[in-house]
Amino acid sequence: MSGRHVALAAPAAVALALAAYPAVASGYGVRATLQVFMWIVLAGSWNLISGLTGYVSFGHVAFFGAGAYAGAILMSKAGWPWLAAALVGGVAAVVLALVIGYPCLRLKGPYFAIAMLGLNEVLRALVSYFEGLTGGGNGLSLPTLDATIPIYYVMGLTAVTVIALTYLIITSRFGLRLMTIREDEVAAEAMGIDTARHKLYAFLLSAVGPGIAGALTARDQGYIEPISVFPLATTITMIVMVLFGGKGTVWGPVLGAVVLFVTQEVVWARYPYVHPLLFGAIIVAVVLLMPRGVLGILQIRYRLPRTI
């Protein structure tokens, strides 16, 4: 087989295996894999804005939460079917990204980060304020429904879409232009690139996945409350996964999601109280020792194409 064929066959085989998995797996197995898909969606989406343009989005979980609430409200108050509600969740996240991104992306690096840090707090406050609609601190319950297996497939499909989208962007000139923002924004602008518009596009694209994933998760859990959908831990985990796996690459976020999820499950099973502390330590270690991530380092060392 030529190299090209192997490159296509391997992921295809994995995809087939994953598609067949629910037929043979336990409930836990399906749930765990569903979670991995979710993390791939989150990490892969974060990579689109922060890995490519270098604009660190610290509040990205806001899109997850927005999608979760939008979807949940439609499902519980308006009786929408979950698939449609999930898509609307994605739309809601994009709208939020537009509202936030349009002003905030004009801010230079550190100020953008500060603004995004505050986003979470604000959203949580808004959710509490609009209690009538969102159930406030008490949360929102959804009618019972066991849809774990269909959700598994939809989440899996979303993960594949995010990976494919990343591949398309990285191999396009649009992607190159996004990278120039990371390399040298002043020079990029001097060369005629409308950096504000490009950042916004990347930001919007990076919000869709989390929005859909949020709504799907809400359906799967059957219940959401502010703390469960806007936790800082989700943002941290997203970031660590991408940093570890390799930001700015196609498969880096996937690698990071898989490795760190498995690590998290193992550590959490044995040492439940230590794992957030461990994550803080991992962030520090990755930032200091391997800021490019596993695939990033391989890419530079062995001159691999960016599409790994």
Residues that bind another protein (CB under 8 A): 50, 54, 56, 58, 103-104, 106-111, 113-115, 117-119, 121-122, 125-126, 128-129, 173, 176-177, 179-180, 183-184, 186-196, 232, 236, 239, 243, 273-274, 276-277, 279-284, 287-288, 291
Shortest separation between residue 293's beta carbon and another protein, angstroms:
12
| Contact in structure between 225 and 127 (CB atoms under 8 Å) | no
Task: Give the span between the Cα atoms of 277 and 262, in whole angstroms.
Answer: 17
Provide the terminal-to-terminal Cα distance of the chain, rounded to the nearest Å. Answer: 19
Shortest separation between residue 281's beta carbon and another protein, angstroms:
6
Shortest separation between residue 221's beta carbon and another protein, angstroms:
23
Shortest separation between residue 1's beta carbon and another protein, angstroms:
25
User: Nearer Cβ to another protein, position 32 or 232?
Assistant: 232
Q: Is the dihedral of CA 255, 164, 15, 32 positive or negative?
A: positive
User: Nearer Cβ to another protein, position 85 or 257?
Assistant: 257
User: Nearer Cβ to another protein, position 16 or 277?
Assistant: 277
User: Nearer Cβ to another protein, position 11 or 280?
Assistant: 280
Shortest separation between residue 22's beta carbon and another protein, angstroms:
35
Task: Give the span between the Cα atoms of 78 and 94, in whole angstroms.
Answer: 21
| Residues belonging to the chain | 308
φ, ψ (nearest 5 deg) of residue 122: -65, -45
Shortest separation between residue 174's beta carbon and another protein, angstroms:
10
User: Nearer Cβ to another protein, position 20 or 122?
Assistant: 122
Q: Is the dihedral of CA 266, 215, 66, 134 positive or negative?
A: negative
User: Nearer Cβ to another protein, position 127 or 212?
Assistant: 127
User: Nearer Cβ to another protein, position 79 or 110?
Assistant: 110
DSSP code string of 139-162: -EE------HHHHHHHHHHHHHHH
Q: Where are the alpha helices (DSSP H) in the chain?
A: 3-24, 27-46, 52-53, 61-77, 82-104, 109-129, 131-134, 148-170, 173-190, 195-221, 226-229, 232-245, 252-270, 275-289, 293-301
Shortest separation between residue 52's beta carbon and another protein, angstroms:
11
Determine how many CB atoms are found less than 10 A away from the CB of residue 180: 17
